[in-house]
Chain A
């Protein structure tokens, strides 16, 4: 791979890079949502032994566009009894967190030839803040507000029940999720997502999923389950359980407001998958040193695609949880397991990780920090 010069025309790559990464991540998340709906239908079709989308465009690839146009031109119904302000705000609140999370997720690493001829390695991320994990996690917690408020303001009992389910579910599964994230943080010794990925360099066996075997694996599985629950996807799709609550919290939403909820669901799928990639699957790192020829961005998005395929696979296979079973599973199974893994991980970290091993983590390169997201003050 050729190493690009820092100066491309009038632009200084080091300065532009954060904005570029943000644009890419935003663009990918927003552009991938329609593609994802198509992908999900095709994969589900394969699982179900039926054709799946095949009417609009080759293999139905244009179906999402047709759907988008349809949703855009649908009548925007405002039920008379809704709490208007909150009703309009809720979809926005649901979509905002996954998009804002994109800011700290590193896509790949770029090697850039500086003006003086030295080569620097820069992470391709909008804001390499040292509290990246907390940022993502905090936003994920915020996302439930969109759903709860949407359910509440709709003034519909199905919506209300959906919203209630969602809040209970998010709180329960966030605990297990956060504990596993702490485990990953322990492994890397940093809260910065860039450093977490950098700490996993050197092939598949240094990825967090296989580190401290089997602790990393268990934690990754717990994260994976909580991730599905966090995004309200099958088999944890109780807030919008079609056969029980019609459409749950989005029953009263139509047209673009419904589409925004829909987008938020898929965008958060992409974001939590990206987080899983960063935390457990080594981010942009290739699984073997020889495979570094393939650019990191391909690995990064490839891993995300794999996780999303698993999402669809799980959806095709498992029936829906019942509310009480969901709670029992979250609190009595996942939470203790996550806690135990964290405890053991802490012991391993304290006794078996020598100081020399920690110093092996490549030091974060110095570079002017972009003044975004209040990153300067944080930390």
Chain B
């Protein structure tokens, strides 16, 4: 006995409309268990043959209540849950949260800390873009690029591992600076990895750009105008692909990004290919910024010297009773920023990412809200897919570069 998967009323409640008279279209449930919805995105597609009549995204399958959870953590501990949102660019999530908290506190890390943050966020951006490139290419059937991109990403993650001991969830950037300075030999290894990258990027482009099938799959597909992008709140490379030169690193520089020379690559047509080209240009640009950061790395401490905010060094715990007390207080109770609210956006690999943190003067954030770029970018999906083919849907999802952990949070 077969039962309909969903009643008509339930479908209507979810915004799926089926014309009972003319059933020339079929409704296809794409996801949440589908190989190319980049996690657990569920799309309800209404199809006429293979042509998309409408797309309704359904989200929430990895909802973990991170925003609410933030209200029950001290500021120092809340850093660790920010890793779990956009899990392919953890450093940048940490940075966004810490910048908002630091604005609440009215503190700023020393220059070396700022520059290291820039370096880490650019390394993370490259790692994130490599995940995007690999999965996007895999969705379009170019399997080899996936393995190549993952190979390079692994080297970048090794840098994070050497620094913090973990590959994906470092929580290395904390309010007041970084948990520690880089280990010995880290810069040399970093330079070595960075020197290797341009040749690799050229390799990906050789496989993809000169391939007529790739061009056919990406050019003229999923076009969105700059106005539509701005109306829907699309940001990041997806917005720049449509020709809007908006980059948070330039528009409202944070963490000393104003000290670095870099341009804003923009696209001309706003199609999948433009978004691809913008990200490829950003890969090179991130490498360049990272190189500049290493060259200009100032000496000095990486974090503020304020025992009220930043935990004492491990070595001090053996010698100083004061340090032990501070350490205990900081990890059990935390610090209490003055009442107020702060929102400091950063440029994440997906777009404008920012934590809106409200403090009522207590030890926990009163409210922690995330402006998730993936969430905004996903809104463009319905517009982009209408009238296209199923194969284009996966190309368009890939080109928007969404991470469901960030959307559902």
Residues of A whose CB lies within 8 Å of any CB of B are 44, 47-50, 80-81, 157-158, 161, 165, 234-235, 237-238, 241-246, 315-325
Contact = CB atoms under 8 A, between A and B. Distances in A.
Given A48-B148, A242-B35, A323-B390, 13 more contacts: A49-B148, A81-B2, A165-B50, A237-B141, A243-B141, A244-B391, A319-B137, A319-B213, A319-B217, A320-B217, A322-B216, A322-B389, A323-B389
A246 B2 contact: no
B214 interface: yes
Given A318-B213, A319-B217, A245 B26 contact: no
A49 B26 contact: no
A268 to B, nearest CB: 20
B166 interface: no
Which of A158, A245, A319 has the largest number of chain B CB atoms within 10 A? A319
A127 to B, nearest CB: 39
Given A319-B140, A323-B391, A50 B216 contact: no
Which of A237, A238, A244, A246 has the largest number of chain B CB atoms within 10 A? A244
Contact of B144 (A48, A241, A244, A323): A48
A319 B389 contact: no
B133 to A, nearest CB: 13
Contacts, number: 86
Contacts of A241: 141, 391
B147 A235 contact: no
B394 A243 contact: yes
A322 B139 contact: no
A235 to B, nearest CB: 6
A324 B151 CA distance: 33
Contacts of A319: 137, 140-142, 208, 211, 213-214, 217
B143 A48 contact: yes
Interface string B371-399: 00000000000000000011111100000
Given A316-B144, A319-B137, A246 B35 contact: yes
B34 interface: yes
Interface in B280-339: none
A190 B122 CA distance: 66
B36 interface: yes
B6 interface: no
B207 interface: yes
Contact of B36 (A158, A244, A315): A244
A280 to B, nearest CB: 24
A246 B34 contact: yes
B11 interface: no
8 contacts: A80-B1, A241-B141, A316-B143, A319-B141, A319-B211, A320-B140, A320-B217, A323-B389
A44 B143 CA distance: 9
A244 B35 CA distance: 8
Which of A237, A246, A318 has the largest number of chain B CB atoms within 10 A? A318
A23 B211 CA distance: 43
A322 B217 contact: yes
